[in-house]
Structure 1
Amino acid sequence: DKAGRPVDLAHGRVQASGQIDFPLKKKPAPGEVSFAVAGRGFGVSSRQIVPGKPLAAKALSFTASNRHLRIEGAGTLAGVPFDGSWETGLGPGAADAGSQVVADVTLSQETLDTFNITLPPGSVSGQGQGRLELALAKGRPPEFSLTSDLAGLGLRLDAIGWSMGQARTGTLAIDGVLGKPVRVDSLALSGPGLDLEGRLTLRESGGLQSLAITRLRAGSWLDAPVTLTGRGRGSAPAVQVSGGRIDMRNAPFTSTSGSGGGTSARGGAAPGPLTLAPDRLQLTDGIVLTDFRGDFALSGGMKGNFTARLNGGVPVRGSVSPTGKGSRFVIKSEDAGAVLRDAGLLKNMHGGTFHLKLLPTGAAGTFDGELDIRDTRIRNAPVMADLLNAISVIGLLEQLGGQGISFPEVEARFRLTPKQVILTRSSAVGPSMGISLDGYYDLASQTMDMQGVLSPIYVVNFVGQLFSRKGEGLFGFNFNLRGKASAPKISVNPLSALTPGMFREIFRRPPPKVPG
């Protein structure tokens, strides 16, 4: 009566024995009566303990005394197996303290479906065990805590490209309220290559409303706050990254799924949209984008447009698109000189338009690059001055120190790896001179081993292109640059100037070749 529950709260057969002690006098005080009872219930069933969820148990044990009531055993709740206990205090003040449930429960996709907790399709596979604790208080929805080592469970979060097989283990800790809808105030999940902490909000229908993750670490590519927003049953959530760090060298959004359409290769829903606004986005060892803002689709591979600042400096814009080997990046700017300065590559180029393509090779952090620059000038470049001085081109030296040497067309083709830049060919051509260059640049030591040809008076001399590489005239000087990029050692072969372009190869090694 005091609990407001009917007499037929549960059904079953009970076998019990106990002892009651009381003084043989008229109207003994409550404290003068003591009892201790123990027994078992058989074939127990109830549809009222948890409204709408039938509870059943073959056998339950119970004990009762003046101080407490405890029921324990194994059973099922809406078909979900459990093994645990319920305990409440008895006596003065016990009603205010409420009662507690502690149980080992089965975790699976069926469990989520039973309790109307909807996650993206394919998120959970297999079966594991968890420890559930409930705090039951009169007039309030139950508060719960669930922990698990995830053994036997397979987990997959397609939105961030993470998965864990059923043979692995991790930790799961969830705290919340079993209201309508269920509220998850704290969610912590960790496993191989993943750590996250956040708060989960479900819709009244049970579907995901939002998962606000204060910090998500996924592998070596992501360390940032992330918000997943539900888009309805059967649809993958939208993902938003605001702040933190992203390293696209190791990101999972690399190759196309081969499906070419709306669903993933594993039969789940198509990935949801992705909004990126990290503090730092690393493309390669030397290219970092800050103040990044971009919106992307992930179905069939990552694609979309973005704006950013290169290494915290010049504004750039670009796009990402999928290929069979990974994500292809295109970066553009209206100030090529500023881009190269902020990238730490060339400090003395000014102006010009910049267009860079980075094509994935399939190897981690490795791209084939195509760089094209138009209408730029080089001024006050010490290395260039030393080279011009070495071949005694006085007019060009004066031009270099004044308004600069004009290059209407600059292009380069290279292989970018985590350790080095392999320049397979490059050229810079203008009316005053033409230059070709190839070789190696070590990113860690910032040293170079380059070779090239400088052809003065290129507007007249360019006829040599019929017999040599782009940027080289009929007559030119072979040179080498070796050592620190800031102050390389320059050597010039004067005999090469007497050799027409078609025979110049005898004075230099073959250009670098990269595997296809």
Structure 2
Amino acid sequence: MPRLTPPTRFRLRRKKREASARRPASQAGGAPHGARRSLARRSVRAASLLVAVSACFAVLLAGVLAVRLAIGPIAIEGLSQRVAAAMNRQIGNGWEARINAAAINHAGLNPALTLQGVAIIAPDGQRAIAAPEATVSVDPWSLVWGQFRPRSIEFRGLALRLAMGAEGEISFQAGAETEPAVATSPATGGAAAAAPQLPDILARGVASAIELLTQSDGLLGGIDTASISDARVILVGADGAERFRFSDADLSFSRPKDNLRNFSFELTGGKGRWRLDGAVSGRGGEKRVANVTFRDVPVSDLQAFSHRDKAVWTDMPLSGSIMGAVRSDGVLVDLVARVRGAPAVIHTDDPDMPQFTMNAAELETSWRPAEQKFDIQRLHAAWDGYHVTASGALERGEGDDQWRLALTSTDALAAPFGPGDAPLPVDRITARLAGSSDGGARIDQFDVATRLGLVSVTGQLGGVATGDGVNLDIVGKNADTRAALAMWPSFAARAVRDYMGRTFMSGHVDSFDVRVRMTRDDILKARQRMPMRAGELTVDVAMRDAMWRASPDTPPVHASATAAVTGVEARIAVQEARMTPADGPALPISGGEVVIHSAQRPVPSADVAFHVSGDLPTLMRVMASAGLGAAPIDPARVSGQAQLDVGLTIPLKPATEAVEVQPRISGSLSDVAITRVMGEHGLEAGSFQVLVDDAQSQLKGDGRIAAAPVNIDLRQPRKSRAGGEIRVAATLDDAARARFNVNLGSGFSGPVTIHAALPLDDAAGQDATKAGGQRIDVDLARARIVELLPGWSKPAGKPGRLTFLLETQRGAWRLSDLALEAGNVSASKGVMEVDAKGGFQRLRFPSFRMSPSDNMRVDVERVEDVYKVNVRGQFIDARPMVRAIVTDDGGKGAPASGAGAPKIDLDLSAAILAGFNDESLTNATLKLTSRGGQVRQAAMDGRFGQASASLRLSPQGAGTENLEVRAANAGALLRFADLYRRMYGGDLVISAQLGRRTQTGSIDVARFTLRDEPALGRIVAAQPAAGSKRINVSEVPFQRLQGSFDRRAGRVQLRDGIIWGPQVGIKLDGTVDFARDRTDLTGTFIPAYALNNAFARIPLVGPLIGGGANEGLFAVSFRITGPASAPTLTVNPLTAVAPGIFRKFLEVFTPDGAGQAQQAPPTPPGRVP
């Protein structure tokens, strides 16, 4: 058999029957006394015998019944009708028990009846209780005598259905759990009954519960003792729909006296188990009094008895007691209730409404039947820092009012509206409300008076007139800002309300007026963040001395303003305001306005606009603290004025951070000064434009640093102090560079333009760069370089560029990845270090070229005021340096005193030092000392092949130096310097005295040869044929070259120059200007020099017939003029036949060009391809 549900037992006590003792009628006349005694004895014996026989028969029948029940149930025709009839006599008039089938069985040692399809039918014919199966225990002796006397009834699968009437009455409902619910409707008259009023509903609910427990007829009226365990109780609303079901219900009823009933009710609801105990005294038709106690009854279970949707619900457990009394006609005449609620969370159907904890709730009330109202002696509630204790009355309404509620409180406290607020004592609360038949509630008066002002609320909640919505008017005067905001309905423009509550920290409200006109559909749409209709909400506020803060980390704004809020937008107009940063004076604000558009958007935002005019450091502090742009420079280092138009878009979120504020700022800054921008130098006379948006802050304009014009473009990411950059373009002339301690002497002049992109370090005002360096670009196009290094020159206007990465290390500057392209100099991968004051420390170029083929490195280090230059290379092209020395103008253009020129100590070493004409000096070393722009001491050594070469320069005092040059291959040296290409061999000695502007010296070359000298060939060709055949001009040996020279400004004056050998002699005088590329030399060619010169040396007549001590009897005069790179040779052939003194006359009186002029082949420029 399937497992049955635990049984439910009804223990039925048989009603006592009253027997009428009737005595037999007296006989007329009397029998004799003896006869009567004999008759009595016979009667006794007969009765005893009858009893004994009956007992034996009963025992026999009981034994037979027991044996038969052991075999199986006994089905008896008509048994179900007899059992039903017996139960009908027990449960009372009007109620009927129906049984489909019955059989006799046993329950332990006692017989029992097994019933199928048991139903209890109410007087109106509807089924109240139904069970598929039941077991009824009976008295076995009653079965012996053929009677049915139930001891108990066990129902399996029992379900009780309680119906809630429209007027609050409680009754059993027809139907079982497995059948459709059919509500038992109360009888109605012919006319429509008036709508019940709230006090009547409450009174009828209590009275009907007492009636249900004390009625003499009905389901409970005929039962002396009954109990139900593990049953299900189903609650059905007035509309017949099932609202809630309780499980594991235990109910017990007892009637110890005819006029007293005790009951206990314990069940498991939606949130746990709760219990109700009570007693009802009095009989049906009389006055009855009920005393009920209850414990831990959840409000959510009680709300199941309401037919309305739950806008607010809670699981608060209630405990307390109720005393109620009804008259014989079922009318409530007395009620006293005391209810206490334990702490619990209160929920609402608004998803935006935060839940809160009700810490305590108490109600004490009593019913006054004469006035038909409930007196509320005490109503107390405490939640989230609020508490209120009130008293009043709930009474019948008049006219269209169904009820009226009046409450008064003088003991209330309002919690702080937000963090930092103080609790607000409420002096008095007066409330008058009325309810209508359509379920609405009218607020006639709701006044809240505090020491900070008065707030009055009137309006309508629910009902047909409001579309089951809200019509409210809230008016206040002379109220505190926070107190006024606390009265704003949380369901109306909640985002705006919360935003103003978070941002308005203090202030005084002169007046405010809030009007809410919202239907239920409007409220639902508002909860879904859908746009509100015009007219749903209007708020007008006038406030002064208000403190507004856009977010917790932004500076406060103190202002006086008016606000107008509608369902479409909120607009706040600021009359006067000031913004105060945490560390500085206030910043005046004008023209302020706050506009909140579409307040019902998913995340509404406020557009704030105002104008700022004032001190720049204060503005920087405000912007930094407001999150509108991290201050890249310490405001204490800044001065100036600002004119800005500021716009902000602020999300209306519960926790708005500064980075979520979207700024729009534009304006200008004037008279800006910033200290210590570059070393000790600051920015002055700055004028800038400011632009700030959500991405970055930008400042762009011009100023002056160390009197030099500077263009600045500063960009700073708004949401991070890292990643900012300042672009600087500065033009530095000679004077500006001197102010920065950058002095390169007269070798570098003219303006240079610096382009720099520097990061803004996280620590404002400290290092201007980060590790890794920032690119600096210096344009040298306008600069002029003249022998800054020997051979390094660049005219102004020719492109030049210097680039490097700038970084700081412990306050000093480091220039890495240094690259230079200027004139003939090209260098890369350099590193330079500069101290904090801009002073040079060291420079290293692993790759330095003054010609494309150079392979050398350069190290420069400053030791005190001397620059130590170390040059090392495998191959160094010396041609630029040689050309610079040869064409040196002797210091033209340099300062007379040499003041400001750097002090240099040069140490050069090269495996190959290449010169002109494919000549190279190997194993070359050079040590040089320069002071005041002049070389004071030098020592150079090297070799041309196997021939040695050396140079010595030593100071002689009085500003002069002694120069000595020696070379074992004079021709190689001259070709190396691109002075002369036709000489080969020879021992060279040059001695010179070098002054500041003039160098004087002598030259002596011994044992050399001139090869393929074209000029010599043409001169030889001009003499008689017999002499010319004896001279091989392709290679003419010479024994000596002697002469003296003066050098000044790149111009060499040659005096008494003489070259002689076995075949030829040449006398030469004149000038060669290398700086201007001009030549003017005169000379005499003397063939057969040894013989010819002998005549010139004869005493007295030698000068006459020889023309001079270094000439001869016969010679040819010539002249070389024109550019030094392509001179013109002019030969006077007449001088070949005029001896001595006569030759001189021909030289003087023969005009230039009158002789045989020949264009000498041009001398190639002094460059090596």
* TM more than 0.5: yes
In structure 1, which of residues 485, 496, 507 is the aligned counterpart of residue 1139 of structure 2?
Answer: 496
The alpha-carbon distance between structure 1 residues 457 and 204, as it changes in their structure 2 partners (threshold 3 A), is: same
Query: What's the secondary structure of 1:351's corresponding residue?
Result: strand
Write out per-residue CA displacement over residues 113-134 of structure 1, whole angstroms, 9 at most, x where no aligned residue.
xxxxxxxxxxxxxx13322112
1:214 aligns with 2:810: no
Q: Which has the higher contact order (CA 8 A, sep 6+)?
A: 1
1:65 aligns with 2:648: yes
Matching residue of 2:184: none
In structure 2, which of residues 718, 743, 749 is the aligned counterpart of residue 158 of structure 1?
Answer: 743
In structure 2, which of residues 580, 583, 587 is the aligned counterpart of residue 14 of structure 1?
Answer: 587
Distance 2:842 2:1068 in 1: 46
1:198 aligns with 2:783: no
Matching residue of 1:438: 1069
Distance 1:334 1:2 in 2: 90
The alpha-carbon distance between structure 1 residues 50 and 391, as it changes in their structure 2 partners (threshold 3 A), is: closer
Bigger mean CA deviation after superposition, 416-425 or 343-352? 416-425
1:411 aligns with 2:1053: no
Query: What's the secondary structure of 2:744's corresponding residue?
Result: helix
Q: Identity over aligned residues, as a percent?
A: 14
The alpha-carbon distance between structure 1 residues 258 and 25, as it changes in their structure 2 partners (threshold 3 A), is: closer
More helix by share: 2
In structure 2, which of residues 978, 985, 988 is the aligned counterpart of residue 354 of structure 1?
Answer: 988
Distance 1:224 1:321 in 2: 32
Distance 1:334 1:152 in 2: 46
Distance 1:338 1:15 in 2: 84
The alpha-carbon distance between structure 1 residues 88 and 445, as it changes in their structure 2 partners (threshold 3 A), is: closer
Q: Following superposition of structure 1 onto structure 2, how do residues 278-289 of structure 1 map, counting pairs within 5 Å? A: none
Report the CA distance between 1:55 and its aligned residue: 3.6
Matching residue of 1:514: none
Query: What's the secondary structure of 2:899's corresponding residue?
Result: coil
Write out per-residue CA displacement over residues 118-165 of structure 1, whole angstroms, 9 at most, x where no aligned residue.
xxxxxxxxx133221122232635322112455996435532625668
- Consecutive unaligned residues in structure 1, runs of 5 or more: 109-126, 511-516
Report the CA distance between 1:242 and its aligned residue: 2.9
Matching residue of 2:313: none
Matching residue of 1:100: 698
Report the CA distance between 1:396 and its aligned residue: 9.2
Matching residue of 1:513: none
The alpha-carbon distance between structure 1 residues 204 and 170, as it changes in their structure 2 partners (threshold 3 A), is: closer
Matching residue of 1:451: 1084
The alpha-carbon distance between structure 1 residues 152 and 401, as it changes in their structure 2 partners (threshold 3 A), is: closer
Report the CA distance between 1:461 and its aligned residue: 3.1
Report the CA distance between 1:331 and its aligned residue: 6.0
Query: What's the secondary structure of 1:477's corresponding residue?
Result: coil
The alpha-carbon distance between structure 1 residues 315 and 251, as it changes in their structure 2 partners (threshold 3 A), is: farther
The alpha-carbon distance between structure 1 residues 39 and 288, as it changes in their structure 2 partners (threshold 3 A), is: farther
Query: What's the secondary structure of 1:35's corresponding residue?
Result: strand
1:84 aligns with 2:716: no
Contact 1:369 1:415 in 2 (8 A): yes
Distance 2:989 2:552 in 1: 75
Query: What's the secondary structure of 1:77's corresponding residue?
Result: strand
Distance 1:258 1:58 in 2: 45
The alpha-carbon distance between structure 1 residues 348 and 274, as it changes in their structure 2 partners (threshold 3 A), is: closer
Contact 1:379 1:400 in 2 (8 A): no
1:128 aligns with 2:724: no
Report the CA distance between 1:343 and its aligned residue: 6.4
Matching residue of 1:140: 722
In structure 2, which of residues 1055, 1059, 1082 is the aligned counterpart of residue 424 of structure 1?
Answer: 1055
Q: Following superposition of structure 1 onto structure 2, how do residues 300-319 of structure 1 map, counting pairs within 5 Å? A: 300-303=932-935, 304=938, 318=951
Distance 1:102 1:438 in 2: 67
The alpha-carbon distance between structure 1 residues 446 and 302, as it changes in their structure 2 partners (threshold 3 A), is: closer
Matched residue type, 1:479: V
Contact 1:253 1:327 in 2 (8 A): no
Matched residue type, 1:199: F
Query: What's the secondary structure of 1:140's corresponding residue?
Result: coil
The alpha-carbon distance between structure 1 residues 350 and 317, as it changes in their structure 2 partners (threshold 3 A), is: same
Distance 1:228 1:324 in 2: 39
Matching residue of 1:112: none
Distance 2:1062 2:774 in 1: 69
Report the CA distance between 1:480 and its aligned residue: 0.9
Distance 2:1067 2:968 in 1: 24
Matching residue of 1:299: 931
Distance 2:1034 2:673 in 1: 87
Distance 1:202 1:406 in 2: 64
Matching residue of 1:124: none
Distance 1:353 1:223 in 2: 34
1:480 aligns with 2:1120: no
Query: What's the secondary structure of 1:457's corresponding residue?
Result: helix
The alpha-carbon distance between structure 1 residues 415 and 134, as it changes in their structure 2 partners (threshold 3 A), is: same
Report the CA distance between 1:177 and its aligned residue: 3.1
Matching residue of 2:777: 187
Contact 2:807 2:815 in 1 (8 A): yes
Contact 2:729 2:754 in 1 (8 A): yes
Distance 1:495 1:106 in 2: 78
Matched residue type, 1:21: V
The alpha-carbon distance between structure 1 residues 453 and 255, as it changes in their structure 2 partners (threshold 3 A), is: farther
- Computed over aligned residues only, the root mean square deviation of the Cα atoms, in angstroms, reads 5.7
Contact 2:710 2:731 in 1 (8 A): yes
Bigger mean CA deviation after superposition, 71-80 or 149-158? 149-158
Distance 1:477 1:208 in 2: 74
The alpha-carbon distance between structure 1 residues 163 and 11, as it changes in their structure 2 partners (threshold 3 A), is: farther
Bigger mean CA deviation after superposition, 60-69 or 288-297? 288-297
Query: What's the secondary structure of 1:374's corresponding residue?
Result: strand
Report the CA distance between 1:69 and its aligned residue: 3.9
Distance 2:903 2:754 in 1: 24
Matched residue type, 1:373: V
Distance 1:416 1:148 in 2: 43
Write out per-residue CA displacement over residues 442-489 of structure 1, whole angstroms, 9 at most, x where no aligned residue.
986878643355562269939829877999458543321246868753
TM-score by length of 1: 0.64
The alpha-carbon distance between structure 1 residues 337 and 60, as it changes in their structure 2 partners (threshold 3 A), is: closer
Write out per-residue CA displacement over residues 403-431 of structure 1, whole angstroms, 9 at most, x where no aligned residue.
85341x21233467899865432112446
Report the CA distance between 1:18 and its aligned residue: 1.9
Contact 1:455 1:476 in 2 (8 A): no
Contact 2:596 2:604 in 1 (8 A): no
Contact 2:1086 2:1092 in 1 (8 A): no
In structure 2, which of residues 608, 612, 618 is the aligned counterpart of residue 35 of structure 1?
Answer: 608
Distance 2:1062 2:759 in 1: 75
Contact 1:69 1:89 in 2 (8 A): yes
Contact 2:827 2:849 in 1 (8 A): yes
Matched residue type, 2:803: G
1:335 aligns with 2:969: yes
Contact 1:159 1:272 in 2 (8 A): no
Matching residue of 1:242: 849
Bigger mean CA deviation after superposition, 40-49 or 10-19? 40-49
Q: Following superposition of structure 1 onto structure 2, how do residues 168-187 of structure 1 map, counting pairs within 5 Å? A: 171-179=753-761, 180=767, 182=769, 183-187=773-777
Write out per-residue CA displacement over residues 197-250 of structure 1, whole angstroms, 9 at most, x where no aligned residue.
322535424445448352235xxxx76559684475686566776325677347
Matched residue type, 1:201: L
Query: What's the secondary structure of 1:18's corresponding residue?
Result: strand
Distance 1:413 1:4 in 2: 91
- Paired residues in the alignment total 458
